[in-house]
Amino acid sequence: MQRRRFLGMTAAGAATAALAPALTACGSSAPGGDKKLKLVAADYGDKPANSSKKYWEQFAKDFEAKNKGVKLDVEVYSWTEVDKKVADMVAAGKAPDIAQIGAYADFAAAGKLYSADQMISVPTQADFISSLAKAGEVHRVQYGLPFVSSTRMLFYNKALFAKAGVVKAPESWDEVQAAAVKLKAAGVKIPFGVPLGPEEAPAETMLWMLGGGGGYTDNTGAYTISSEANVKAFAWLRDELVGKGLTGPNDPARTNRQDVFDAFCKGDVGMLHGHPTLMQQARAGKIDFQIAPLPGVKGKASSTMGVADWMMAFKQGGHRDQLGTLLDFVFSKDNVLSFVGQYDLLPVTESASASMQGDRRYEALWPFLSQLQIAEFYPADKTSWAKVSATIKEKIGTVVQKGGDPSAVLGEIQREAEAAELAGR
């Protein structure tokens, strides 16, 4: 099993094959006349001892005990295969009743999903954190139900900072560069880790865009990948960090997120962008670390990146009432806290968030939680996003290489994004 290294990502185009017409219904009746529901979920564990399968087995027992006559069949797959598994099931006309995966937009656009207000109770729908609920909308109708969430912050190694004479976390990009120069002079192998390799290039890209005052889209949802702010951000990254040897010996275009996470946990990285699960890994590596808000071009960035994984309910089985009952149970405060607490993730509901903020057992997550309301998300409501994400993975790393041209590369990605958007209409 493999812990998911990044929430909210999906295999590019995985859902495309799922748009074939339905053939047969997947929902069925179990022996004895019981109604049987099928749920397919992703595994957030990194070993058998903390596999999500254990959570869902207990969840099924608890749900069936409260809902006589309903049987819940749960299949759990690794993040490397779960999106494709669901896409294949839907394409074969055997959609699960519920899927907990990385993206919902293609299924929603094809008319295969129930909307939130067709199933779940008003209190459950109203309990979703507003920024997350909005990120689950297609044409202002919510189809994606956020399951877990995460935000990104700056992680830094306190011991390496002290060794280099850096007295506080940088807030602006100039301070980032100044700290990185000191770290390099002190012998730190990777002053600032920049993973623009294919594993998570869209996330690292978005973080630098947000820090520069840009982003993937504007307020109307139109792609702004080649905006002036984004071009300037990558020109700065190319010239002031990568070009000055402040990102370590490896090419950022070939460096994956887990590469820099592993190096951070070995004490080789001064600072990097990270999500909450890095805390577990860093503690296991006995790294004395601290977290801080995302630095921006002139000071602290006005927003950070938020990420969500999604639940969605398929119409094919026709079990709308039972699915509403199931989803109300999934998003009860105790169940939300039970799951996120196991994996250092953030809750998606106001009730669970308030409970977490008042419980010192979750104190390490409070800074990430405080960022959630100002977080910006991938344009996951766009059916074009899977293709755009794949293009970013393929091309973005070249902008920070010697001779790289941010304007040309971002312009090319912009044109491909607009073409993909038009093709999906």
β-sheet with 289-292: strand ranges across: 190-193, 269-274, 153-157, 289-292
Give me the domains of the chain, ranges plus CATH numbers. Answer: 16-150+307-374 (3.40.190.10), 153-304+384-423 (3.40.190.10)
- CA–CA gap between residue 103 and residue 381 (Å, rounded): 9
* 182 touches 378 (CB < 8 A): no
Give the angle 61-65-69 at the CA atoms, nearest 5°.
Answer: 105
pTM for this predicted structure:
0.84
Please report, in tens digits, the pLDDT of each residue of the chain (425 residues total): 333 333 444 433 444 444 443 333 444 554 444 689 999 999 988 778 889 999 999 999 999 999 999 999 999 999 879 989 999 999 999 999 999 998 898 899 899 999 999 999 999 999 999 889 988 998 899 999 999 999 999 999 999 999 999 999 999 999 999 999 999 999 999 999 999 998 889 999 999 999 999 999 999 889 999 999 999 999 999 999 999 999 999 999 999 998 999 999 999 999 999 999 899 889 999 999 999 999 999 999 999 999 899 999 999 999 999 999 999 999 999 999 999 988 889 999 999 999 999 999 999 999 999 988 789 999 988 889 888 998 999 999 999 999 999 999 999 999 999 999 988 76
The answer to whether 257 and 198 have CB atoms below 8 angstroms apart is no
Cα 281 to chain centroid distance, Å, stands at 18
| Beta-strand pair 137-138/70-77 | unpaired
